[in-house]
Copies of this chain bind each other. A is one copy, B any other.
Amino acid sequence: MYSIAIHGGAGTLAKHLFTPEKEKAYQDALALAIAAGDVILKNKGTSLDAVQAAITVLEDCPLFNAGKGAVFTHDKRHEMDASLMEGISLKAGAVAGVSNVKNPIQLARLIMEKSEHVLLCGKGAEDFGRLNKISFEDDAYFFDELRWNQLLQVINEDGAHLDHNVNVEIPDKKFGTVGAVALDVYGNLAAGTSTGGMTNKRWGRVGDSPIIGAGTYANNATCAVSCTGHGEYFIRAVVAYDISCLMEYAGLTLELACKKVVNDKLVKFGGEGGLIAIDTKGNICLPFNSEGMYRAWKTHDTEINTSIF
């Protein structure tokens, strides 16, 4: 028995602006990412490998705000964050504010396995990656005309942009993040998240994606969670670990814990977004309180499912 779920960010184009072609492009990309994780799980690979493989596909796809598709910062750069965690050992790795790293999720994995640390930031993290021979790409690799226009549109405004102020013609304008959670045949859970942050972000802002407990958490005693949403609220609400604690300490099922956090606590708190979660029985929950969330899931005995709204 195994299961996997992924997300490509919460907050999408309004449904009436979504052409059938656009919708198909997203669904195809999500299916490709699920398939990359599925083949690993089917061949008795680990949930950690499956999570990393699925996220790598999403990072390599320009449609999503992570890796190649990362949005531009105020300084016209790309600053990416990622994290992952495995439920059997509670080991975790995370990276924040790195540029030119082809696959930030790979760097997070490397930090988990080859350093004594959990979280490395900025240039130091890049140096650690270089020393360990991960792939870097030049700025041209990350350039995308849509993303560039997205920046130009808001660069003279004050804030960083997660919201409707960005041209509605541009998809995943909001909480662009990708993530994956998986249960493998050994009964082990894993979770991972990767993001390019917010268009026009400044001041070295870091959201919830690289924060263990906020954007990512995995524990074989409870569940694996990857979040997407307004990162500041997700940090303050310690969202991913909250799901786990509601299961472990309050005895809630995965479904009830997800409902309570995403559709009750976060709504009252003003935190827009969603998450994907999985438990050791292979149950999958994909709750969100935004208009939509790019998502896909598959279990050992079902086909690939994709959904947006």
Q: Which residues of A contact B (CB under 8 A)?
A: 85, 90-92, 96-97, 115-125, 127-128, 159-160, 202-207, 211-214, 217, 231-232, 235-238, 241-242, 245-246, 249-250, 269
Contacts and interface: CB of A to CB of B under 8 A. Distances in A.
Contacts of A124: 97, 202-205
A76 to B, nearest CB: 14
Given A124-B204, A204-B122, A238 B250 contact: no
Nearest to A207: B119
26 contacts: A85-B236, A90-B236, A91-B236, A96-B96, A96-B121, A97-B122, A116-B232, A117-B203, A118-B236, A119-B206, A119-B207, A119-B235, A121-B122, A121-B204, A124-B202, A124-B205, A125-B203, A128-B202, A128-B204, A211-B211, A212-B236, A212-B238, A217-B238, A238-B238, A241-B242, A242-B245
What is the interface of chain A mostly: helix, strand, loop, or mixed? Answer: mixed
| Residue of A115, A206, A250 with most partner-chain B CB within 10 A | A206
B232 A117 contact: yes
| Residue of A90, A159, A235 with most partner-chain B CB within 10 A | A235
Contacts of A117: 160, 203, 205, 232
A258 to B, nearest CB: 15
B121 A235 contact: no
- Copies of this chain present: 2
Given A90-B269, A214-B213, A242-B245, A119 B205 contact: yes
Given A91-B236, A119-B211, A249-B250, 14 more contacts: A97-B121, A119-B206, A120-B204, A124-B202, A125-B203, A211-B211, A213-B241, A238-B241, A241-B241, A241-B245, A245-B245, A245-B249, A249-B249, A250-B250
